[in-house]
Chains A and B, each alone.
Chain A
């Protein structure tokens, strides 16, 4: 089955939109249930699109992007699974299987973009120094556009190259897997730069203990699987208790000092 130019263009446009939507916009258009129907409609087989989208949706429910983890990208997975189901008449799980190499490439694209955007934060700092509000807006739209474009390219390539391209991609990505491991490991460490900058500003010498206390409590709670979702909320409760106690004590000391000072003068002590 071959596709005409308008269909290819529309798939590219939809890939562009949902690539951005996976992090921004409505954060719901990218879900397979929606994307399957849209791609199905574009390729002229809405029924298959609905079925593949619905089935893939049920498969991904247990696999949500929680806490910043990146599953092999569900956006491209949904688009390519629908494409393969329609073009080759496969059932959903076979079509999802063929989509995996493309979903993996999509995940790599996200890793790459998040890495490249990190040093760009220094340009953002310079814009802030000059109060260049337009620059900040432009930077954000450019990043969104770049993500959309990368995904559109992958999806169109998949549409034209078919599952044969998927096999080639798997072979290549197996060979260079260590580069992506390196990038995502480096990416996982870059947040510590953000923490270090915050600490540089917020941490006075007498707050080191508080820093380690927060670290310790989060580590302990983190080892209890049932609490992993609410860990930071629980930590915040304890933090609020400590901060509130400090606040109330210091306010009380200040007021007492004021009273004591006045009394001292009157009593002549």
Chain B
């Protein structure tokens, strides 16, 4: 379970991270989705990516542990734009900002990048480059795949390095203004974070039921009745139910996953999904 510490023990800002460490983390950022899973998505990969920086920043072992724990919470962003989130979060970690502040900034930054990244890469860069180079390949030219790899990866790597350095600077500058009104900022950042989690519940929530009740020529579709009450009712209901189990009943995440597995497989067996 996540640590309950809200501040680091050693509050002296660490040395700013050097270029070499930042670049090392850019290379690691390629493997953001290494341990992707349904529960926390990129969380463990995210932690893996920023570990070189965290190890330099937190020389106190308890602080390193606290930082690792809160950086293992749910994380999902666009893999090609992740270094933007990394830079900001690392600058806050380096300044030993309040843990609630770091968490809120991380959650607020990760959500919107997904749509931007999809638009940039999957809807623009890949269709254009692949469209042109695929025709070269069909005509039997080996230049097709080579050009595709070159263009795609030059754009990708340039963006990764730029975003890391830019957002690290940005975070370092912003922190002075923010610490003057830290309490107010943490509250505002939490509001944004909670707002984004609310949006994610709807946006990432694709769970629907396939149940229908026989009714002559017009079978009753349960999902459309539910949508009539409140669209995305099931994602909202499950999230609130799990929140209740974890917060009030002290359930562990593993127990929740076990419950969902049973519900999912039993539900599929009886044709619920």
Contact B34 A141, beta carbon cutoff 8 Å:
yes
Is B165 among interface residues, defined by CB-CB distance under 8 A? no
**B273 partner, pick from A24, A133, A182, beta carbons under 8 A:** A182
Task: Mark A207-248 against chain B: 1 for CB-CB distance below 8 A, else 0.
Answer: 100111111111100110000011111011011101110110
Chain A residue numbers with a CB within 8 Å of B206 are 188
Contact B197 A33, beta carbon cutoff 8 Å:
no
Is A172 among interface residues, defined by CB-CB distance under 8 A? no
Is A169 among interface residues, defined by CB-CB distance under 8 A? no
Chain B residue numbers with a CB within 8 Å of A185 are 207, 264, 267-268, 273
Chain B residue nearest to A124 in the complex (CB): B44
Task: Mark A178-199 against chain B: 1 for CB-CB distance below 8 A, else 0.
Answer: 1101111111111111111111
Contact A178 B69, beta carbon cutoff 8 Å:
no
* Chain A interface category by residue count: 35 or more
Contact A202 B38, beta carbon cutoff 8 Å:
no
> In whole angstroms, what is the CA distance A106 to B253 when docked?
27
Is A109 among interface residues, defined by CB-CB distance under 8 A? no
Chain A proximity of B260: nearest CB distance (Å):
5
Contact B133 A33, beta carbon cutoff 8 Å:
yes
Contact B257 A235, beta carbon cutoff 8 Å:
no
Chain B residue nearest to A212 in the complex (CB): B198
Contact B235 A31, beta carbon cutoff 8 Å:
no
> In whole angstroms, what is the CA distance A66 to B231 when docked?
22
Chain B residue numbers with a CB within 8 Å of A190 are 37-39, 257, 260
Q: Which of B8-16, B85-93, B138-146 contacts A (4 or more CB under 8 A)?
A: B138-146
Chain B residue numbers with a CB within 8 Å of A215 are 198-199, 201-202, 232, 236
Chain B proximity of A82: nearest CB distance (Å):
12
Chain A residue nearest to B111 in the complex (CB): A232
Is A257 among interface residues, defined by CB-CB distance under 8 A? no
Contact A182 B264, beta carbon cutoff 8 Å:
yes
**B138 partner, pick from A54, A64, A230, A242, beta carbons under 8 A:** A54
Is A9 among interface residues, defined by CB-CB distance under 8 A? no
Is A36 among interface residues, defined by CB-CB distance under 8 A? yes
> In whole angstroms, what is the CA distance A183 to B161 when docked?
37
Chain A proximity of B152: nearest CB distance (Å):
5
Chain A proximity of B262: nearest CB distance (Å):
8
Task: Mark A49-80 against chain B: 1 for CB-CB distance below 8 A, else 0.
Answer: 01101110110010011111000000000000
Chain B residue numbers with a CB within 8 Å of A65 are 122
**A218 partner, pick from B48, B135, B202, B273, beta carbons under 8 A:** B202
Is A26 among interface residues, defined by CB-CB distance under 8 A? yes
Q: Which of A94-102, A113-121, A160-168 contacts B (4 or more CB under 8 A)?
A: A113-121
Contact A192 B112, beta carbon cutoff 8 Å:
no
Chain B residue nearest to A186 in the complex (CB): B264
Contact A199 B112, beta carbon cutoff 8 Å:
no
Contact A66 B122, beta carbon cutoff 8 Å:
yes
> In whole angstroms, what is the CA distance A51 to B72 when docked?
44
List which B61-118 residues lie within 8 A (CB) of chain A.
61-62, 64-65, 68-69, 71-74, 76, 79-80, 100, 103-104, 107-108, 111-112, 114-116, 118
Contact B242 A192, beta carbon cutoff 8 Å:
yes
Contact A243 B207, beta carbon cutoff 8 Å:
no
> In whole angstroms, what is the CA distance A265 to B262 when docked?
66
Chain A residue numbers with a CB within 8 Å of B190 are 202, 204, 207
Most B CB atoms within 10 A — which of A24, A127, A189? Answer: A189
Is B223 among interface residues, defined by CB-CB distance under 8 A? no
Number of A-B residue pairs at CB separation under 8 A: 406
Chain A residue numbers with a CB within 8 Å of B268 are 178-179, 181-182, 185
> In whole angstroms, what is the CA distance A195 to B204 when docked?
10
Contact A140 B138, beta carbon cutoff 8 Å:
no
Contact A242 B36, beta carbon cutoff 8 Å:
no
Q: A128-B69, A183-B265, A189-B207 are in contact. Are A229 and B115 (CB under 8 A)?
A: yes
List which B229-266 residues lie within 8 A (CB) of chain A.
231-232, 235-236, 238-239, 242-243, 245-247, 252-254, 256-258, 260-261, 263-266
> In whole angstroms, what is the CA distance A191 to B40 when docked?
6
Is A139 among interface residues, defined by CB-CB distance under 8 A? yes
Contact B199 A202, beta carbon cutoff 8 Å:
no
Chain B proximity of A167: nearest CB distance (Å):
24
Chain A residue numbers with a CB within 8 Å of B107 are 198, 202
Q: A118-B257, A185-B207, A191-B39 are in contact. Are A50 and B141 (CB under 8 A)?
A: yes
> In whole angstroms, what is the CA distance A216 to B267 when docked?
27
Is B3 among interface residues, defined by CB-CB distance under 8 A? yes
**A211 partner, pick from B198, B204, B238, beta carbons under 8 A:** B198
**A26 partner, pick from B156, B203, B267, beta carbons under 8 A:** B156
Name 19 interchain pairs, CB-CB below 8 A, sorted by A.
A53-B134, A54-B136, A54-B137, A55-B134, A115-B261, A131-B68, A140-B35, A143-B34, A182-B266, A192-B205, A198-B193, A201-B73, A214-B197, A215-B198, A215-B199, A216-B198, A218-B198, A235-B203, A247-B181
Known: A182-B266, A236-B112, A243-B192. 10 other contacts (CB 8 A): A24-B30, A54-B136, A119-B39, A121-B253, A137-B48, A214-B199, A229-B119, A232-B114, A235-B195, A246-B184
